[in-house]
Amino acid sequence: MTEKPQSIHQFKVNLLNGTNVNLDQYKGKVLLIVNIASACGFVAQLQELQELRESYKDRNFEVLAFPSNDFGRQEPLDGEEISQFCQVNYGVTFPVFEKTMVRGEQAHPLFKFLADKKLNGVLSSTPRWNFHKYLINQNGEVVDYFYPFTKPLTSKVKKQILRLV
């Protein structure tokens, strides 16, 4: 009998204001976890992520954003500055967490889990740039990923979400 892979529900993360959040509060929700950066060429995807959230929020869907400075030092902002940037420029209402390392030895345990098949039991996909997206099912299990150049409102992303909600 093989052991069931762990889920993202085992992790704790901090919101931009420092509030500690246990990801088990998202049990029963389909999630799109994205590493973001305010100075990245893909930053307009924040608006699409917000539109995606609005389209499916009544179907137990949520976007979780993790600012990261891992790629080209494209996240120069911190804390409240990141929050203001996302809200003012893109109308973001989904949760944005503290600046997080998403690759390498110093990566947050959540991103180590998301990126490594040995840990998540499904796939290996380390973020290679900002706006790498992981799709998580209602049980907190990784089911798919999308590269940064795959925009959130593409039919590919929406079809995968609709399969799960």
**Three-state SS annotation for 33-81:** EEEECCCCCCCCHHHHHHHHHHHHHHHCEEEEEEECCCCCCCCCCCHHH
Task: Enumerate the domain spans of the chain.
Answer: 8-164
pTM: 0.96
pLDDT tens string 104-138: 999 999 999 999 999 999 999 999 999 999 999 99
40 in active site: yes
Let me know: does 138 contact 148? Beta carbons within 8 Å. no
> Whose CA is closest to 99, among 129, 79, 127?
79
Q: Which of 30, 40, 102, 114 is catalytic?
A: 40
Let me know: does 145 contact 123? Beta carbons within 8 Å. yes
CATH architecture of the domain formed by 8-164:
3-Layer(aba) Sandwich (3.40)
pLDDT tens string 78-109: 999 999 999 999 999 999 999 999 999 999 99
